[in-house]
């Protein structure tokens, strides 16, 4: 008897103990029971293949012997693998029950040894049971809709937990029926609050559940294998993952930048597809409304009806979003800062290729007057670390790259008489490592830029060998939570060398290097080394901490390396000798004081803080009411707050306030392209970077606190390490 069959038998036996309780629940339980019988007969369990078993053995060997983390494949990992696998399959704990989990006792502690030897059946048994339970639940939902949403009671004191990931599993199917009745009531309330009548919302929800049901019945062996291997590989770190042959194809397309789409990196997140990051210069980045951690509810092609994608496989969602250039796709998303899953937003994006020129560095000049003194500060925005490899390989001496473009912009800015420089790396997710190395080289005489340690503890040091310096003045580097990888290498090096101050918020903390290795079946992306700053501290996990902090709307608990399960820890190795050019210790307290005073008096910062507080309050809301009147009041309060903040920002720029949320939403749809973070007219953070630079120049004139470039304070690695330790 398989595990699935045994669990089903156990469930029948336990039903005798809950019969009395079942009679008190209403007719919905009988619908659930009928659905259970039908779905168990209809679902065809998936089974592992020989190729998958061979790939499993290869993956186990690669993880154990070539991954940066020294971790053995053994039964010591079994419990964590089991929990991670269930989190992937049923992260919100809405399909399985404690009764189901009790049936897994025999295999829970032995997954490690099974995976070491290619025995996949235990993982497939778990997957098949989850699929059966999904089918049961969806039939239950459809049956409840068939009874009529008008029969649901929205007048009591019921509420529903928004995030069940840390909750206990419900005891049995009867309790699960109660939970799903609440989930459906919540979905109905959401549609009513969005203006849908009962007939329309019933059709919408039925289409959603039927689409999910169809995909559950169409489960493939590869779906189970990929989920199981990713739960296994994820024990080593969150960036190590298995790509099925189909996913490998999509990965290779993305790496070649030949994909025509919206320019967003997506990943599965329970039933949803979640936005991980936006590609700088891509259509979604330029449109300006889609944000990291947004979850996609539906996808609409031009002239067609929306397709609900909740419960879809990631590759299917990617295929639906991908399309020909200049066509428009509309994504309905749950914004990352939404109070609950009932708040959605439609975002229309015109598909296009990500063009290299749209990722290029750009410049501005910020002119400031202080007590009769004028200051001219240059600002360079770098969306990504790019290089035109094809032109480089073809021998084109004028190929585009980050370093080449920034050198040219520096020459232009210095010709305009700038005294200081702001480098904006916010939302820069990294890119070509050699470009980060070369870019550091524009601001130092020569020396190391980053250390790379592999699993054998061998350390490679990348150096700037060119003594030429493109800019010798003081610098400010702007970062935020979405500044990652190569951005962190550059910001960390500038901080360690004392070439400038880092301003903004803690960076992402992505300090690892991955390689993609072929298997007999698919590919394995595996972490093989780790980045370290010249001061010895890793950029992994902690990222780069700013010298002067500016709060951000981004929730660090949702975005960032330290928000990921099994992330490699921060550590440090020996520092390497490097020069420290400027000593900011005499002026940093004064710089922070001036910055704080400006922000306390700044209406833009006041609005930013209001938004941050509002979003934080929304995220902290653990449950929502299922009472219609109470829910309407909450909905209206949220809309009033959004409208108040938007109108306050309108008044700052001399524009007429909006009369309603509908007017605000319409305006956002029309003006989305003007909402990019690098728009100087609406972005006060880059102006504040200029203000901090003006403070540095002013204090330098008064106290001569900053030595001239070429007069290093020290070349001892120990001193530099002490002054910049994270």
Residues involved in catalysis = 485, 496, 510
Q: How far apart, in whole angstroms, are the C-alpha atoms of residue 491 and residue 385?
A: 13
Is 489 strand, coil or helix? helix
| Bridge partner residues of 269 (DSSP) | 272
Q: How far apart, in whole angstroms, are the C-alpha atoms of residue 243 and residue 314?
A: 12
Take residue 109 and report the two structure tokens written for it. 């502690």
Q: How far apart, in whole angstroms, are the C-alpha atoms of residue 257 and residue 388?
A: 11
Taking a C-beta distance cutoff of 8 angstroms, is the pair 554, 612 a contact? no
Q: How far apart, in whole angstroms, are the C-alpha atoms of residue 118 and residue 112?
A: 10
CA-angle at 104, arms to 98 and 105, nearest 5°: 100
Q: How far apart, in whole angstroms, are the C-alpha atoms of residue 368 and residue 377?
A: 8
* Nearest CA among 416, 423, 285 for reference residue 362: 423
Taking a C-beta distance cutoff of 8 angstroms, is the pair 720, 575 a contact? yes
CA-angle at 314, arms to 308 and 315, nearest 5°: 105
Contacts 24+ apart (CB under 8 A), 528-531: 528/66, 528/67, 528/68, 528/454, 528/455, 529/68, 529/452, 529/453, 529/454, 529/455, 530/68, 530/452, 530/453, 530/568, 531/450, 531/451, 531/452, 531/485, 531/488, 531/489
| Count of CB atoms situated within 10 Å of the CB of 571 | 14
Taking a C-beta distance cutoff of 8 angstroms, is the pair 468, 440 a contact? no
| Bridge partner residues of 325 (DSSP) | none
Q: How far apart, in whole angstroms, are the C-alpha atoms of residue 333 and residue 300?
A: 12
Q: How far apart, in whole angstroms, are the C-alpha atoms of residue 300 and residue 330?
A: 5
Is 559 strand, coil or helix? coil
Take residue 414 and report the two structure tokens written for it. 């210095």
End-to-end CA distance of the chain: 56
Q: How far apart, in whole angstroms, are the C-alpha atoms of residue 313 and residue 214?
A: 12
Whether the CA torsion 71, 77, 81, 83 is positive or negative: it is: negative
* Nearest CA among 76, 257, 92, 250 for reference residue 168: 92
φ/ψ of 479, rounded to 5, equals: -135, 165
């Amino acid at each position: 008897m398989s595990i699935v069959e045994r669990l089903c038998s156990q469930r029948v036996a336990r039903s005798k103990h809950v019969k009395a309780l079942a009679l008190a629940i209403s007719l919905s339980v009988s619908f659930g029971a009928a659905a259970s019988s039908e779905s168990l007969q209809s679902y065809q369990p998936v089974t592992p293949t020989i190729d998958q078993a061979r790939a499993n053995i290869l993956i186990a060997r690669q993880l154990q012997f070539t991954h940066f983390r020294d971790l053995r494949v053994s039964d010591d990992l079994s419990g964590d693998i089991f929990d991670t696998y269930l989190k992937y399959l049923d992260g919100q704990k809405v399909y399985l029950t404690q009764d189901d989990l009790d049936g897994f006792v025999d295999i829970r502690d032995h997954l490690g040894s099974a995976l070491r030897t290619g025995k996949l059946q235990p993982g497939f048994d778990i997957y098949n049971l989850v699929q059966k339970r999904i089918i049961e639940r969806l039939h239950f939902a459809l049956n409840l809709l068939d009874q009529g949403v008008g029969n649901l009671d929205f007048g009591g004191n019921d509420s529903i937990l928004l995030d069940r990931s840390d909750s206990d599993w419900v005891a049995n199917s009867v309790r699960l029926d109660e939970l799903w009745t609440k989930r459906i009531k919540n979905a109905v309330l959401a549609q009513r609050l969005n203006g849908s009548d009962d007939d329309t919302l019933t059709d919408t929800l039925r289409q959603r559940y039927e689409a999910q049901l169809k995909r559950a019945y169409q489960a493939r062996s590869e779906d189970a294998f990929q989920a199981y291997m990713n739960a296994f590989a994820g024990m080593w770190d969150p960036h190590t993952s298995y790509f099925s042959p189909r996913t490998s194809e999509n990965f290779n397309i993305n790496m070649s930048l030949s994909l025509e789409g919206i320019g967003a990196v997506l990943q599965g997140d329970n039933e949803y597809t979640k936005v991980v990051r936006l590609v700088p210069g891509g259509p979604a980045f330029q449109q300006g409304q889609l944000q990291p951690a947004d979850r996609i509810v539906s996808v609409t092609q031009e002239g067609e009806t929306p397709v609900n994608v909740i419960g879809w496989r990631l590759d299917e969602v990617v295929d639906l979003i991908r399309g020909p250039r200049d066509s428009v796709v509309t994504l309905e998303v749950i914004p990352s800062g939404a109070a609950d899953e009932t708040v959605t937003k439609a975002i229309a994006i015109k598909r296009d290729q990500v063009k290299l020129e749209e990722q290029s560095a750009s410049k501005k000049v910020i002119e400031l007057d202080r007590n009769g003194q004028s200051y001219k500060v240059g600002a360079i925005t770098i969306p990504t670390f790019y290089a035109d490899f094809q032109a480089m390989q073809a021998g084109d001496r004028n190929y585009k790259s980050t370093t080449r473009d920034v050198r040219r912009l520096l020459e232009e800015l210095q010709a305009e008489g700038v005294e200081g420089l702001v480098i904006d790396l916010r939302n820069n997710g990294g890119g070509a490592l050699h470009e980060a190395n070369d870019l550091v080289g524009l601001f130092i005489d020569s020396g190391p830029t980053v250390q790379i340690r592999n699993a054998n503890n061998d350390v490679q040091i990348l150096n700037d060998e060119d003594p030429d310096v493109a800019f010798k003045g003081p610098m400010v580097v702007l970062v935020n939570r979405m500044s990652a990888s190569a951005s962190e290498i550059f910001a960390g090096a500038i901080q360690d060398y004392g070439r400038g101050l880092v301003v903004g918020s803690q960076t992402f903390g992505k300090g690892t290097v991955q390689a993609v290795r072929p298997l007999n079946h698919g590919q394995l992306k595996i972490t093989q080394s780790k980045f370290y700053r010249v001061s010895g501290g890793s950029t992994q996990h902690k990222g780069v901490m700013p010298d002067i902090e500016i709060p951000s709307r981004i929730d660090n608990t949702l975005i960032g390396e330290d928000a990921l399960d099994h992330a490699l820890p921060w550590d440090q190795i020996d520092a390497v000798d490097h020069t420290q050019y400027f000593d900011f210790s005499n002026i940093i307290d004064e710089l922070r004081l001036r910055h704080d005073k400006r922000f306390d008096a700044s209406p833009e910062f006041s609005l930013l803080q209001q938004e941050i507080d509002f979003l934080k309050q929304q995220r902290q809301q653990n449950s929502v009411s299922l009472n219609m009147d109470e829910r309407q009041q909450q909905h209206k309060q949220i809309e009033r707050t959004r409208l108040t903040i938007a109108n306050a920002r309108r008044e700052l720029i001399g524009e007429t306030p909006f009369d309603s949320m509908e007017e605000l939403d319409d305006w956002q749809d029309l003006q989305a392209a003007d909402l990019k973070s690098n728009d100087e007219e609406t972005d006060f953070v880059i102006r504040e970077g200029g203000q901090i630079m003006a403070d540095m120049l002013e204090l330098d004139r008064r106290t001569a606190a900053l030595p001239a470039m070429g007069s290093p304070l020290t070349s001892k690695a120990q001193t530099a390490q002490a002054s910049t330790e994270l």
